[in-house]
């Protein structure tokens, strides 16, 4: 069983490519599923999680470097909390990402999964990058979005991502050494990128069997 994490610059095609890889490999694509599981464990709505994540760059001040806190380990998961704060969110996020990884055969999109699963023996980490202009064009084409709106969205998400990782004490999120494969989506089409990832994962699985 393999675990594929996809980190990306916003607009580089992470969702689209992740779904394509999952479909070809017969894997689960974990994006909104993560939100649903965190919401269920924290006993809050999925809308709350979504709005919380949108504000992550300004609300989060600690990261997953300490992983699951001892304070959280003393909690009972079935406790009807109905409340979410920064540390609770991070604790549940680590738990849920780890659960998906344990289940295997999954493509996990973002949410610091490259850090959470850094030492996971079955994980393959992918990073997607592209120039700002290309990412704007991708959003316009893929989501039928006006140019000005696409430019604002990509710029805002870039700032949010930078702010988030700075606050989380992580400045190396684009460091290629964190990843098995870095794909420049300005030089690759989606089908080629999908095939490259699938071939890499297949070769990793063969090595494990051997």
**What pLDDT shows up at residue 82?**
60
Distance CA(38)–CA(52), nearest Å, equals 12
Percent of the chain at pLDDT > 70 equals 76
Question: Does residue 25 or residue 209 have the better pLDDT?
Answer: 25
pLDDT at residue number 46 = 78
> Which tops the pLDDT comparison, 152 or 38?
152
Between 143 and 166, the more confident residue is 143
Mean pLDDT of 194-203: 95
Which residues form the domain of 180?
3-209
Q: For 151, what's the count of Cα atoms within 13 Å in the CB-facing half-sphere?
A: 4
* pTM for the full predicted model: 0.78
Give the separation between CA 35 and CA 160, rounded to whole angstroms.
19
pLDDT digits (tens, 9 = 90+) for 14-63: 999 999 999 999 999 998 888 888 888 777 777 777 766 666 544 443 44
Q: Between the CA of residue 23 and those of 103, 164, 198, what are the distances in Å?
A: 17, 30, 11
pLDDT at 59: 41
- Counted domains in the chain: 1
Q: What is the domain-level CATH number for residue 156? A: 3.40.50.300
Mean pLDDT value of segment 141-153: 93
């Amino acid at each position: 069983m393999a675990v594929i994490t996809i980190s990306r610059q916003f607009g580089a095609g992470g969702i689209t490519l992740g779904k394509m890889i999952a479909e070809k490999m017969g894997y689960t694509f974990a994006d909104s599923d993560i939100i649903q599981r965190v919401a269920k464990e924290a006993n809050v709505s999925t809308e709350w999680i979504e709005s919380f994540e949108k504000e992550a760059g300004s609300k989060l001040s600690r990261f997953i470097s300490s992983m699951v806190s001892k304070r959280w380990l003393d909690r009972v998961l079935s406790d009807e909390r109905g409340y979410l704060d920064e540390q609770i969110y991070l604790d549940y996020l680590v738990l849920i990402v780890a659960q998906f990884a344990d289940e295997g055969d999954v493509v996990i999109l973002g949410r610091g999964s490259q850090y959470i699963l850094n030492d996971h023996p079955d994980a393959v980490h992918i990073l997607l990058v592209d120039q700002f202009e290309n990412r704007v064009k991708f959003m316009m084409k893929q989501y039928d979005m006006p140019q000005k709106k696409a430019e604002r969205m990509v710029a805002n998400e870039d700032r949010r991502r930078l702010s988030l990782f700075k606050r989380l004490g992580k400045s190396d999120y684009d460091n290629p050494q964190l990843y098995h494969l870095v794909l420049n989506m300005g030089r690759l089409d989606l089908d080629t990128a999908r095939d490259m990832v699938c071939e890499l994962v297949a070769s990793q699985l063969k090595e494990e069997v051997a």
